[in-house]
Amino acid sequence: MTIRISAPLAKLCLLATLSASSTAPAAPDPDSEGNVSERAIRYAEGFSATREESDLRNALVLDDFQSASRAVVAKPKDSASRTLSESTGEFWVYAAATELFYDDDGDGYYHYLRVSFDADTFFTDAYVYAELYLSWDGETWERYFVTEDFLLQGSTSLDEYEIETEFVTGYPTGLYDVLIELYDADFGDFVGEFGPLQSSDFSILPIEDLEHDGLPPPPVPISHEHGGSGSISWLWLMLLLAGLLGRRCEEAGKCSR
Ligand SMILES: [Ca+2]
Ligand SMILES: [Ca+2]
C-alpha cells in the first residue's frame, strides 16, 4: 500500500506500512436500536494553491451529526464504479491523493486526513462540488463530507482542491477506503469519481478518531519504598542463604563459635 505522507509539522509521524490483513476493519458501533454512533468531524477545505506547501489548513469547523437519521448518506460499495455508465465524459478527476497526519498514541492509526484532487472539465470553466465517502467494512460507503461549489478551469492543475478532516468521534480504529464523487454544481449530475479502483492511495487507510487516538498511558512508576514486597523477597533470600551456609558448615564441622 502506498500512501502519500507529507511532513510539514512536528507532530507528523511516519506511516508504517500495513498489510491488508494486519487489522480487520472495525464496525461502526451500532447501539441497542441498531443505529450507528454519533459522528463528529472538524474540517477545512479550499484550493491547494491557497495553502503554504508545508502547512495544514487546520481543520477547525466542527460538524457533528447523528448518523442514524439526518446527515449520513450510505450506499452499497459496489455502487462506486459507475464512472463509465453515468459520467458524461465532460468532467473527470485527473489525479488525487491522500495524506495522513497525527498519530498521538503511536499505534499507526491517524486521526487527520487530507484528500486532494485535480478535476478537469471539457468546458472553459464550470462549477462542481465533491462528496467524500469512507468505507470501513468493505460493503458500505458512508458520506462524511460535501464540499462547497468550486470552479474548474479547463484542464489546469491550478484548481486542485483539498479537504482536511479531523475525525473527532464515531470513527473507530480500522482500515478505511476513501472515495471522491464529483458532481456538476449547475445540474447536480454525477460526473466522475476517484477511489480505490483508481489508486491504492484510497485503500485501507489506517484511521481512528480522536477518542481512539488517545495518548499512551504514563509509564508505571518505580517504587523506592522500603518494606514492600520486593524488600521482603530480598530479606527472605538473605535469610535462606544464611541458613544454607550455616547448615553446610555444621555438616563440615568447621563452624567458628
Ligand atoms: Ca493512533
Ligand atoms: Ca484541474
Largest distance between two CA atoms of the chain: 109
**For residue 202, which phi and psi values (nearest 5 degrees)?**
-105, 15
Centre of ligand 1 to C-alpha 96, Å, is 24
pLDDT value at position 7? Answer: 36
Count Cβ neighbours within 10 Å for each residue of 176-209 and write b for 16 or more, e otherwise: bbbbbbbbbbeeeebbbbbbbebbebbbbbbbbb
Centre of ligand 2 to C-alpha 159, Å, is 5
Give the whole-angstrom CA distance, residue 71 versus residue 167.
16
Centre of ligand 1 to C-alpha 249, Å, is 61
Query: Can you give the pTM of this predicted structure?
Result: 0.70
pLDDT value at position 194? Answer: 95
Centre of ligand 2 to C-alpha 12, Å, is 28
Q: How confident is the model at residue 35 (pLDDT cuts 50, 70, 90)?
A: low
The answer on pLDDT for 67 being more than 70 is no
- High-pLDDT (> 70) share of the chain, %: 61
Centre of ligand 2 to C-alpha 14, Å, is 29
**For residue 245, which phi and psi values (nearest 5 degrees)?**
-65, -40
Centre of ligand 2 to C-alpha 67, Å, is 32
Mean pLDDT across the chain: 76
In the chain, the N- to C-terminal Cα span, in Å, equals 77
Ligand having the closest approach to the CA of 128: 2
Ligand having the closest approach to the CA of 192: 2
Element (H, E) at 144: strand 140-146
Give the whole-angstrom CA distance, residue 157 versus residue 155.
7
pLDDT value at position 89? Answer: 83
pLDDT value at position 121? Answer: 96
